[in-house]
């Protein structure tokens, strides 16, 4: 409930700034994901970027073929291998979420610059956020009837909006449970969640 309230307050506070800024809006998750990938590539080539902050909310079926999803995953892997600080907040709500997260943790187990926290027991998914240093941010809102699918993305380049989204991300980060912090990985917590979700099936 606190997370939902925080999201509502954040978005309502951002509305006026959005209207006055040069924010760009893209409907549909494929379109949005592709635009985010383009922006990451452009900024990393032309400008100094220190970190990548993101949430993982969207559910992608394993059988679904999505070039933009694969491109985003490749970019994240590239930045982790290059030594950038990459922080991700996962919304974990199913067996599939836990199993996928465990696979990614295994892939990046030797990278201390990759940090992960999780949120569980959300009444409604949080927006999907992406921050590329202080240069760029995007916020993607869930569909009403299918909350784990994204409907529309708004991208920001102006400093006030980017800073606002980073602050909101910081709030979520503090509320989330640490799973990977440096070399430490809390696999016992994931095992606990896996057992819980399997009992619910």
Quote the pTM value: 0.81
Tally of domains in the chain:
1
* Phi, psi (degrees; rounded to nearest 5) at 43: -70, -40
Question: Residue 126: which CATH number?
Answer: 3.30.870.10
Q: Residue 107 and residue 91: Cα distance in Å, rounded?
A: 19
How is residue 127 annotated by DSSP? P
Write out the chain's pLDDT in tens, 201 residues: 445 444 544 544 555 454 445 667 766 667 777 778 877 777 766 557 788 999 987 666 666 667 777 888 888 888 899 888 999 999 998 898 999 999 999 999 999 999 999 999 877 777 889 999 888 898 887 776 665 566 678 888 888 889 999 999 999 999 999 999 999 999 999 999 999 999 987
Residues linked to residue 113 through DSSP beta bridges, in sequence order: none
Taking a C-beta distance cutoff of 8 angstroms, is the pair 59, 192 a contact? no
Domain boundaries, position 162: 2-200
């Amino acid at each position: 409930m606190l997370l939902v309230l925080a999201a509502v307050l954040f978005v309502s506070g951002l509305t006026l700034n959005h209207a006055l800024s040069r924010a760009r809006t893209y409907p549909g998750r494929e379109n949005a994901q592709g635009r985010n990938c383009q922006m990451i590539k452009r900024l990393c080539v032309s400008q100094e970027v220190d970190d990548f902050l993101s949430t993982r909310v969207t559910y992608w079926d394993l059988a679904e073929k999505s070039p933009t999803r694969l491109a985003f995953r490749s970019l994240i892997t590239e930045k982790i291998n290059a030594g950038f600080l990459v922080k991700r907040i996962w919304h974990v709500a199913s067996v599939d979420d836990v199993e996928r997260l465990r696979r990614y943790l295994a892939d990046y187990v030797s990278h201390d610059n990759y940090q992960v926290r999780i949120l569980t027991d959300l009444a409604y998914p949080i927006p999907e956020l992406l921050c590329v240093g202080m240069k760029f941010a995007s916020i993607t809102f869930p569909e009403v009837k299918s909350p784990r699918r994204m409907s529309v993305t708004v991208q920001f380049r102006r400093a006030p909006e980017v800073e606002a989204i980073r602050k909101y991300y910081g709030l979520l980060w503090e509320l989330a449970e640490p799973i990977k912090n440096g070399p430490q990985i809390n696999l016992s917590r994931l095992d606990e969640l896996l057992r819980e979700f399997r009992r619910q099936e």
